[in-house]
Structure 1
Amino acid sequence: MRIGIISDTHIRKDYSKIDSFIEKYLKDLDAIIHVGDYTTIDLIDKLKKTNDFVGVYGNVDGLEIKDMLKQKEFIEILGHKIGIFHGDGNRKTTIERVYDEFKNDDVDILVFGHSHQPIIKTKNQRLMLNPGSPTDKRRERWFSYIVLELTEELINAQLRFFS
């Protein structure tokens, strides 16, 4: 199973950038996880038409998106338990907030966004994945996303960078 993980797209009016990104990098994957800050419901509709889709809302998403998606989501794929949460909040770092959000849950992989900083690391035997952003890199050098490949025995997470 190959899953594209994206976050913090912050789409306002110009859909050409996200449309070309989806066509070039996501359309041949089995599923897409978006970790919030879409800023438009139209993007959710596009992602649902492209692949199987799972998403949570972020701190800049409006009520229409918050009514459609949860703040925190759990999925299980091929025996791997995945927790999904945007990562916003007031205390601690983004990674600490995400880890704390799931500290009492049985999960293997934590997927989050918010910081626009791509990260793959482990913390206390949990894989932490932040894809950065494919459309709003902020202070990062490149745009980014993650491809997560899962089998029953294997977890392969790769950050992908592009300009």
Structure 2
Amino acid sequence: MKVLVVSDTHGRDESLEMAVALEQPFDYLIHCGDVEGREFFIEALAECPCTIVAGNNDFFSDLPREDEILLEGHKIMVTHGHNYGVSMDLYGVSEEAAARGCEIVCFGHTHKPVVEKKNGVLVINPGSLSFPRQEGRRPSYAVMELYKGEEPEIEIRYL
């Protein structure tokens, strides 16, 4: 199963449209928040099942603050991350995911891509497609390959 993981698009769709076009076909889309009212557009663009959570800039949104999903036997926690202090370190978000029995946590907020194992949890931040903050400041997203009984494969990709 191919999963496109994005975050922090902040209502600007150009880079998201490019990422979707480059990665199609994919089976699932995860958006880790800060969609700023564009959730229906994102769902229509993806043309597949989606999990979208609210970020700290999704004021007055009906989106869930976080979610747990099961894909190909892998339990995944999806959150924006701001409530877990991800700007400081990954301990809080990885501990919460571990406590919930999740083997993967996808989050955003920092606008910096990360793929790391922490507290036995695979921690994934796809970065930002609209306002990247890592060195080089290239828009980024993640592609996750999930298969039942196999280790997840994750790659950060840049536009």
- The alignment's TM-score, normalised by the length of structure 1, stands at 0.85
Q: Does 1:10 align with 2:10?
A: yes
| 5+ residue gaps, structure 2 | none
Q: Does 1:150 align with 2:146?
A: yes
CA shift in 2, pair 1:94/1:46, >3 Å: farther
Single out whichever of 109-118 and 90-99 deviates more from structure 2: 90-99
- Give the alignment partner of residue 39 of structure 2, picking from 44, 48, 61: 44
AA in 2 matched with 1:76: L
Helix, strand or coil at the partner of 1:110: strand
2:114 paired residue number: 119
Helix, strand or coil at the partner of 1:70: coil
Structure 1 residue runs of 4 or more that deviate by more than 4 Å after TM superposition: none
1:31 paired residue number: 28
Alpha-carbon separation, structure 2, partners of 1:90 and 1:34: 17
Corresponding residue pairs, total: 154
Alpha-carbon separation, structure 2, partners of 1:28 and 1:91: 34
Shift of 1:139: 4.4
Helix, strand or coil at the partner of 2:5: strand
- The alignment's TM-score, normalised by the length of structure 2, stands at 0.87
Q: Kindly, what percent of the aligned residue pairs are identical?
A: 31
CA shift in 2, pair 1:78/1:137, >3 Å: same
Shift of 1:90: 7.6
Conservation of the 8 A alpha-carbon contact between 2:98 and 2:119: no
AA in 2 matched with 1:30: D
Conservation of the 8 A alpha-carbon contact between 2:113 and 2:134: no
1:21 paired residue number: 19
Alpha-carbon separation, structure 2, partners of 1:90 and 1:124: 15
